[in-house]
């Protein structure tokens, strides 16, 4: 029996020596590590879901090897503003995001999320998903749960209940609180109430991100309010999808950025995110006066049926077409999705007005918008943003990239191109072609900067000990292909996407693996 022991030890040692050192090794990589530092040549070794080595690993043994010669390897891109939570169950592969190099997206933006949040996150956790998912909690959803769609202050008891819901959402795993102060019921909320919720979220390690109360003529006041929420709520605050809507407001980004810079100089942690398109997208009723949306759809229909109120609503829509989202012409408003009439997707408000047998004046277009709303709510794309403002905001050093996109069903409806092209559009047309900033800086704005904002300390940078979320792409060819007339086109130039150490996209094809996880915020229990 004793003679058997040396043989057993030798066999174990031999097996250990023959075992692969890594589960995955990426060789010959041009590495951009996410910090903004210059690229360098190295190999990357992965064990399980973690990067365990970066260096000269060409002779290392590995269960799988990827030759990245001629390509760039960077951290996976993190999308801090996504509506993908609406489509994650229908399309859990999130193929549009994989082709962009996105490995993590954060839902619950614009003040809208599941409430309570915990059961929703549990459902996602049970769903085999390809990329990581996290969520904000929406202030508008919290308010709707307690107060409803009414335009009044919360009572002390109602505010206390909202604070309880916010705290529970943080314990459930929210990364912070989103506000959609342009939307109902967020629009009905006094700033002071938002600050009180922000104090709860901030004390639990979260941050605030806001679709501001106004993105047109009163944008400066809206930026001041967003800053105030962070300053008085004692938490980081973010202007999300920052833009200036309407021709009369183009160029105002000069002043909005001065406000942000002044706030940072006095110690307010305020940042920005942005998508690189001259069009926005939201509901068609975004052109309606906010007062007209109080009480929900039934109340809206009642107002549209009352001649005097209908006339007031029409006047508000005409003003929005002229000075806001219409940029002076009804053709700039394009239907993206209309559940009751799919044939309207892709058609603009001017053409839809002509089908009624009238000229597409702003007044007639307003009538068309009201008639559509009476039949059912639709989504629209609004071409009303200046390229000059996009560039100015993009160059600001504390601006990160975020899509404000969704996970569409491929080939269905006419979604905004941002759902397919945001990240490659920045790295291709803006970085490679226009030289807005170096490639390393573009990657930083998609990786370590959002990871820092989210307190995802184990993602967003390529270092040993960090989670193995990576994208392998060709800087010479990466580009968006999606257009507003032909949106359902995947981006090009991303070859492989690795999520938690496993290939979710290989050679441009979605794999059978579903390595995505639910990621939880700083107060999760």
474: closest CA among 74, 49, 141?
A: 74
3-state SS class at 252: coil
Residue 447 in domain: no
Q: Are residues 394 and 421 in the same domain?
A: no
**Any residues with CB less than 8 A from the CB of 86 and at least 6 apart, and which?**
107, 406, 407
Read off the tokens for 289: 């006066």
Residue 123 in domain: no
137: closest CA among 163, 115, 154, 159?
A: 115
Q: Which strand ranges, in their side-by-side order, compose the sheet holding 102-107?
A: 77-79, 102-107, 132-135
CA–CA–CA angle 372, 377, 382 (5° rounding): 80
pLDDT for 3 beyond 70 = no
Taking phi over 0 as left and psi of -120 to 50 as alpha, with beta for the rest, 215 belongs to alpha
pLDDT for 7 beyond 60 = no
What is the mean pLDDT of the segment spanning 93-99?
A: 98
pLDDT for 15 beyond 90 = no
Q: Are residues 185 and 299 in the same domain?
A: no
Distance, in Å, from the CA atom of 59 to the CA atom of 67, rounded to the nearest integer, reads 13
Read off the tokens for 163: 């604070």
pLDDT for 426 beyond 90 = yes
Q: Are residues 296 and 411 in the same domain?
A: no
Distance, in Å, from the CA atom of 419 to the CA atom of 421, rounded to the nearest integer, reads 6
**pLDDT for the residue numbered 18:** 58
Number of domains forming the structure of the chain: 3
pLDDT, one tens digit per residue, over 158-205 is 999 999 999 999 999 999 999 999 999 999 999 999 999 999 999 999
Distance, in Å, from the CA atom of 446 to the CA atom of 473, rounded to the nearest integer, reads 14
Q: Are residues 430 and 394 in the same domain?
A: no
Confidence of residue 51 (pLDDT cuts 50, 70, 90): very high
CA–CA–CA angle 512, 470, 27 (5° rounding): 95
Q: Are residues 263 and 291 in the same domain?
A: no
Q: Are residues 147 and 261 in the same domain?
A: yes
pLDDT for 276 beyond 70 = yes
**pLDDT for the residue numbered 13:** 42
496: closest CA among 522, 463, 473, 512?
A: 473
Read off the tokens for 290: 């906010």
pTM of the model as a whole: 0.95
Residue 115 in domain: no
Residue 298 in domain: yes
Q: Are residues 250 and 146 in the same domain?
A: yes
Q: What is the DSSP string of 442-506?
A: HHHTTTHHHHHHHT-TTSSS--TTSB--EEEE-TTT-B----SSS-----BSEEEEEETTEEEEE
Residue 101 in domain: yes
Residue 309 in domain: yes
Confidence of residue 448 (pLDDT cuts 50, 70, 90): very high
Q: Are residues 265 and 396 in the same domain?
A: yes
Mean pLDDT of the chain: 95
**pLDDT for the residue numbered 377:** 86
pLDDT, one tens digit per residue, over 108-157 is 999 999 999 999 999 999 999 999 999 999 999 999 999 999 999 999 99
pLDDT for 16 beyond 80 = no
Helix, strand and coil in the chain, % to nearest 5: 40, 20, 40
The single-letter DSSP state of residue 518 is: B
Q: Are residues 412 and 326 in the same domain?
A: no
pLDDT, one tens digit per residue, over 349-396 is 999 999 999 999 999 999 999 999 999 989 999 999 999 999 999 999
Residue 81 in domain: yes
Confidence of residue 11 (pLDDT cuts 50, 70, 90): very low
What is the mean pLDDT of the segment spanning 317-331?
A: 96
Lowest mean pLDDT among 13-17, 200-204, 249-253, 300-304: 13-17
Residue 127 in domain: no
371 is in which domain, residue-wise? 284-382
Q: What is the DSSP string of 382-416?
A: EE-B-HHHHHHHHHSTTEEE---B--PPTTSS---
**Which CATH number characterizes residue 192's domain?**
3.20.20.140
Q: Are residues 322 and 396 in the same domain?
A: no
What is the mean pLDDT of the segment spanning 35-64?
A: 96
Cα→Cα distances 198→110, 117, 377, Å = 15, 17, 31
Give the bridge partners for 22, in sequence order.
62
Distance, in Å, from the CA atom of 474 to the CA atom of 493, rounded to the nearest integer, reads 5
């Amino acid at each position: 029996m004793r003679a058997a022991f040396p043989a057993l030890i030798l066999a174990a040692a031999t097996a250990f020596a023959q075992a692969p050192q890594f589960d995955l090794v990426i060789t010959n990589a041009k590495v951009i590590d996410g910090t903004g530092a210059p690229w360098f040549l190295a190999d990357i070794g992965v064990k399980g879901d973690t990067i365990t080595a970066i260096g000269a690993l060409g002779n290392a043994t590995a269960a799988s090897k990827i030759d990245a010669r001629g390509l760039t390897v960077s951290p996976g891109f993190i999308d801090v503003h996504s509506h993908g939570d609406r489509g994650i169950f229908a399309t859990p592969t999130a193929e549009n995001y994989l082709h962009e190099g996105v490995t993590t997206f954060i839902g619950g933006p614009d003040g809208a999320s599941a409430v309570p949040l915990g059961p929703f996150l549990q459902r996602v956790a049970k769903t085999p998903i390809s990329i990581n998912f996290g969520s904000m909690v929406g202030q508008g959803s919290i308010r709707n749960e307690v107060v409803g769609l009414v335009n009044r202050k919360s009572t002390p008891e109602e505010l206390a209940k909202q604070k309880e819901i916010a705290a529970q959402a943080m314990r459930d795993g929210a990364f912070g609180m989103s506000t959609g102060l342009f939307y109902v019921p967020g629009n009905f909320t006094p700033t002071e109430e938002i600050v009180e919720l922000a104090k709860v979220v901030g004390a639990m390690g979260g941050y605030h991100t806001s679709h501001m109360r106004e993105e047109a003529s009163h944008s400066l006041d809206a930026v001041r309010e967003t800053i105030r929420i962070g300053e008085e709520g004692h938490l980081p605050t973010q202007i999300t999808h920052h833009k200036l809507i309407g021709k009369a407001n183009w160029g105002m980004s000069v002043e909005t950025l001065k406000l942000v810079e002044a706030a940072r100089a006095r110690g307010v942690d305020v940042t920005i995110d942005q998508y690189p398109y001259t069009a926005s997208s939201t509901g068609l009723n975004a052109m309606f006066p906010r007062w007209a949306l109080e009480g929900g759809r039934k109340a809206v229909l009642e107002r549209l049926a009352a001649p005097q109120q209908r006339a007031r609503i029409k006047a508000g829509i005409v003003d929005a077409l002229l000075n806001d989202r219409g940029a002076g012409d009804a053709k700039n408003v394009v239907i993206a999705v209309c559940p009751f009439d799919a044939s309207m997707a892709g058609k603009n408000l001017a053409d839809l007005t002509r089908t009624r047998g009238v000229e597409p004046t702003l007044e007639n277009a307003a009538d068309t918008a009201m008639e559509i709303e009476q039949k059912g709510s639709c989504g629209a794309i609004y071409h009303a943003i200046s390229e000059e403002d996009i560039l100015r905001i993009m160059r600001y050093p504390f601006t990160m990239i975020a899509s404000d996109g969704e996970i569409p069903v491929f080939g269905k409806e006419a979604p905004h191109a941002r759902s397919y092209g945001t990240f490659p559009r920045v790295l291709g047309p803006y970085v490679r072609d226009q030289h807005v900033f170096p490639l390393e800086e573009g990657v930083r704005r998609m990786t370590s900067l959002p990871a820092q904002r989210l307190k995802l300390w184990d993602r967003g940078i390529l270092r040993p000990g960090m989670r193995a979320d990576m994208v392998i792409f060709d800087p010479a060819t990466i580009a968006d292909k999606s257009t507003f007339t032909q949106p359902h086109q995947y981006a090009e130039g991303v070859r492989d996407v690795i999520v938690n150490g496993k290939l979710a996209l290989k050679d441009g094809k979605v794999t059978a693996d579903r390595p995505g996880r639910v990621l939880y915020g700083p107060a999760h229990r």
